[in-house]
Amino acid sequence: MKFGTVAPTFPPIDEIPRTAKRLEEKGYASLWFPDHLMGWYPHELWKESVFGKLFPSCHMFYDAFCAICYASCSTERIKLATGVTDVLRRHPAVLLQQVVTANHASNGRFILGIGAGEGENTLPYGIEMRKPVARLEEALELMRIMLETDYGENINFNGKFFKLKNAVFDLKPINKIPVWIGAHGERMLKITAKYADGWLPTTMPPKVYSEKVEVLERYCKKEGRDPAEIEKGLFVSLVIDEKREEVDRLLKQPILKVNSLLLPSEYFRMLGYQHPFGDFYGLLDYIPTEYSKDDILLALKEIPDEVVRLAFVSGTAEDVAQIFDEYSKAGVEHIVLWNLTYFGDVSKIKSSYQLIDEVIRHF
């Protein structure tokens, strides 16, 4: 099992190379940089949290590609990745230019983490989310074409979303750039089987993960690919403590419970409940600026504890290690950790990371 984690996103910017170097020294395999314009919390809810006293907003994100280039200067081995970007905000040619630049800056350690996009980073900014999966597929095909052209060769491409006429793309990477796709639905898994070197869905039960692995493997066979060519990852929202009753307390904190709103409505139905916002796919549909603090708190009251737990991997170090063992049996090879424990109680920053170290030593 390999372990990655999430990179810092907030100012000060000097924290990025310092943290990257420290995580490399601790032995992490990868560092993932969110590519966001907006965070997950309504401003009023954030402002009243302990972090609101430290950071004036949760919507402060450095550009992921600039941050990766900056982090590359202080590291030598750790893989640096976008977690994840999209082709709604950037034309594939512009995106590919940033990708190859990060590849050079990191001496070949860059991973392109990419997905279909999220409503919060597009719709409030006047960016369309029309047919995002089809757009992603066409963009991946176009970027592959651009990378395979010879120096000076004209590129002509007449797609549904992107059109190139006598274009060139002569900035070549120093090695093959791994593409990891944040896929959940069947069509995205089909695209992953065709184009990806890695798969990085968000937290889901091991049984659900295992079922999606079967779908991915089926599409790999249709593409004539060995499923083992695709490294299977999982982005894990983690809450960990020495005491289970403390974990239960933390998961009831609104600043953490908000993450359950990001679950697709099918997860609610799986346990016999309804998503407070109806037929809703949180990662795609949730835009926090459209809700007041009271709207969110009312919605959170409707979410039972057993559903909240689906949004996290949670428990003691022993519990978490056991859950990761289950994920390993389901096919997970690379876990990207987002430690959210101290969002619920800032005094647990040090203890939670010590427990994470204990879990990683288990593997």
- β-strand partners of 167: 155
The secondary element (H helix, E strand) that includes residue 181 is strand 179-181
- pLDDT over 90 (residue 280): no
Of the given ranges (29-43, 148-162, 275-289, 338-352), which has the lowest mean pLDDT? 275-289
Please tell me the number of Cα atoms within 13 Å of 50 on its side-chain side: 10
Closest to 84 in 3D by CA, of 2, 172, 1, 4: 4
- pLDDT over 90 (residue 54): no
Q: What is the pLDDT of residues 177-221, one digit of tens each?
A: 999 999 999 999 999 999 999 999 999 999 999 999 999 999 999
Band the pLDDT of 321: cuts 50, 70, 90. very high
pLDDT score, position 283: 79
- pLDDT over 90 (residue 52): no
pLDDT score, position 293: 92
pLDDT score, position 281: 81
Q: What is the pLDDT of residues 209-249, one digit of tens each?
A: 999 999 999 999 999 999 999 999 999 999 999 999 999 99
pLDDT score, position 252: 96
The tokens describing 34, both together, are: 């969110």
The rounded mean pLDDT for the chain is 96
pLDDT score, position 49: 86
pLDDT score, position 276: 95
Write the CATH number of the domain with boundaries 2-258+312-362.
3.20.20.30
CA distance 258 to 45: 10
CA distance 319 to 155: 53
Q: Yes or no: say if 12 and 61 are a contact pair by the CB < 8 Å rule.
A: no
CA distance 275 to 302: 8
pLDDT score, position 317: 98
Closest to 139 in 3D by CA, of 202, 191, 83: 191
Q: What is the pLDDT of residues 99-155, one digit of tens each?
A: 999 999 999 999 999 999 999 999 999 999 999 999 999 999 999 999 999 999 999
